Structure 1
Amino acid sequence: MNKFLSYEQDEHIVTLTMNEPERRNPLTGNTAVAELLEAIGRIEADRSVRAVILTGAGTAFSSGGNIHDMERHASGNMPGMEIRQDYRRGIQQLPLALFNLEVPVIAAVNGAAIGAGLDLACMCDIRIASERAKFAESFVKLGIIPGDGGAWLLPRIVGVSRAAELTFTGQTIDAQQALEWNLVSRVVAHDELLYVAQGLARTIAANPPHAVRLAKRLLREGMHCRLDTLLEMSAAYQALSHQTADHREAVAAFIEKRTPAFRG
């Protein structure tokens, strides 16, 4: 069986490509979750990685859940508690793994991001869309609900009202509407998508990696903690940052009017 995910590293940047284009890169009924979790673990263990790009091969970013795999759950032959464990041990591991990954992840949305595919894009830190991209929180069309964290992620990105509209209607929006709704940060020509994503990844990777990692952690924690808690975390992280060689190098380079060399 061919691998679902390709893993390519160019210096400090890893590009993950979902590579099952004939089925529009589904996230269930295959090894997608296991391979994505393995890749995240590999990135966590490799301190040289400073930025990640996640994209899809073919015409889709990801079509989400495999409809044929859903037949198992819809058959009436699986107890509800077994289905619950399928979710907990399967796709629900992805939002937790990506949430806790300290390396920034850019979703380069090359085409349709549907259902769990949209939620996967929302698990990333930054979303850049091809002009051909389309987005739908389409679970309701199949008589199910977002089972992978979309109900937590989407309102924090587009706001409660727009998240409710997408979730309750299951409607599809194009890249331009996604930009207007702040679902993506920019829309680019299809042929330039990876080029733009790589440029952004290189800009991120050029910064002191400890500062980027800790800043991402603060942004993530800020999504659900109190201000006083975040300030305490910020003070602790800042104390660590002031003691790093990269901070000393940044200050020295600024004073000496030269380009800094960050070593991580």
Structure 2
Amino acid sequence: MEDFLKLEREGAIALVTMNRPHTRNALSDEDVAEAFERCCATLNADLSVRVAVLTGAGAAFSSGGNLKTLAGSVGAGLGEPVLSRHAYRDGIQRIPRVLCNLEVPTIAAVNGAAYGAGNDLACMCDIRICSEDAVFAESFVRLGLTPGDGGAWLLPRAIGLSRACEMSFTGEPIDAQQAYAWGLVSRVVPAGELMPAALELARRIAVNPGPALRMTKRLIREGMHTRLDSLLEMSAAMQALAHHTAEHGAALEAALHRLSR
């Protein structure tokens, strides 16, 4: 079986491709969570990486759970509810833990269907852009299920409570333009222009100093759930670190040089 994730580099940009088009890049196979853990550990450890782009091979971004193996891998086929609980905790729930703690900014380049856990996977990324072919659905309820991968936390933060409830309670898909209108994605481009657009955005991010990017992402993530005074204290600490980086020194010197001309 081929590796679920293919990792490529363009300078400071990591291009991460879910590479199982025959399963529509389903996320519930046993090795998928481990693949994300290995990939995120690699990117966190490599300080030359400044931004990551996540996309899917084939026609789909990710179909979410693999319906052919769902019952046997995490569902009633396991025999006891407690086994399903551990299957989720030890399986797909590892993905939001590692992806939301990935230090570098992430761009989801959604090339096609993002259903169920695939929709939630896009929400785990910091920025989402999509092709005109993209379709999004929080479709768990249509299978008599609930979001088992953190979607109930992720989706309201991406599009607001009312719209997240509409998507979650109906299970109905929304197209690329509706996703843009609701703020689920920040840009819609023609299918053939998706990866060039994602990489162009990644390059605009990657020109900035790596330490500042990583700390800015951490502050934004912490700001989603912490108190202002706690975030201010963390901001002061990280700003103190930033002041002492070589990248800040070089950028400050260049800015002062421009002002003196």
TM bracket, shorter-chain basis: over 0.9
Q: Would you say the 8 A contact 2:78–2:84 is kept in 1?
A: no
Spell out the pairing of 1:34-113 with structure 2 (5 A cutoff).
34-72=34-72, 73-113=74-114
* SS of 2:133 mapped into structure 1: coil
Q: Mark the CA change 1:81 to 1:191 in structure 2 (over 3 Å): closer, same or farther.
A: same
Residue 27 of structure 2: aligned partner: 27
> Is contact 2:76–2:84 with CA below 8 Å preserved after alignment?
no
**Native 8 Å contact 2:30 2:91 kept in 1:** no
Runs of 4+ in 1 over 3 A off after TM superposition: 73-77
| Corresponding residue SS for 1:257 | helix
Q: Percent identity?
A: 57
Distance across 1 between alignment mates of 2:243 and 2:236: 11
Match of 1:4 in 2: 4
Q: Which residue of 2 aligns with 1:225?
A: 226
Give 1:245 shift. Answer: 1.3
Number of residues of Structure 1 aligned to a counterpart in Structure 2: 258
User: Bigger CA drift: 232-241 or 167-176?
Assistant: 232-241
DSSP-derived class of the 1:182 partner = coil
Deviation at 1:74, TM superposition (A): 4.1
Q: What is the correspondence of 1:187-202 to structure 2 with a 5 Å cutoff?
A: 187-202=188-203
Q: How does 1:126-165 map to 2 (within 5 A)?
A: 126-165=127-166
SS of 1:157's equivalent in the other structure is helix
How far 1:191 moved relative to its partner? 0.5
In structure 1, what is the equivalent of residue 251 of structure 2? Answer: 250
Deviation sequence 1:47-70 (CA, Å, 0-9, x none)? 111110000011100000001221
Partner secondary structure for residue 68 of structure 1: coil
Q: Deviations over 1:45-101 (max 9, x none)?
A: 111111100000111000000012212144454211111111111111111111111
Question: Using the alignment, how far apart are the partners of 2:215 and 2:78 within structure 1?
Answer: 46
CA distance in 2, matches of 1:6, 1:74: 29
Amino acid at match of 1:255: L
Structure-2-length-normalised TM-score: 0.96
Deviations 1:174-221 (A, max 9, x none): 000000000001001110100011111111110011111110000000
- How far 1:143 moved relative to its partner? 0.5
User: Root-mean-square deviation (CA), in Å?
Assistant: 1.2
- Rounded to whole Å, the distance in 2 between the matches of 1:226 and 1:74 is 38
Deviations 1:90-140 (A, max 9, x none): 111111111111101100000000000000000000000101000000000
SS for the counterpart of 2:65 is: coil
Give me the whole-angstrom Cα distance separating, in 1, the residues matched to 2:91 and 2:105: 23
Deviation at 1:29, TM superposition (A): 2.5
Q: Give the structure 1 partner of residue 116 of structure 2.
A: 115
User: SS at 1:246's partner residue?
Assistant: helix
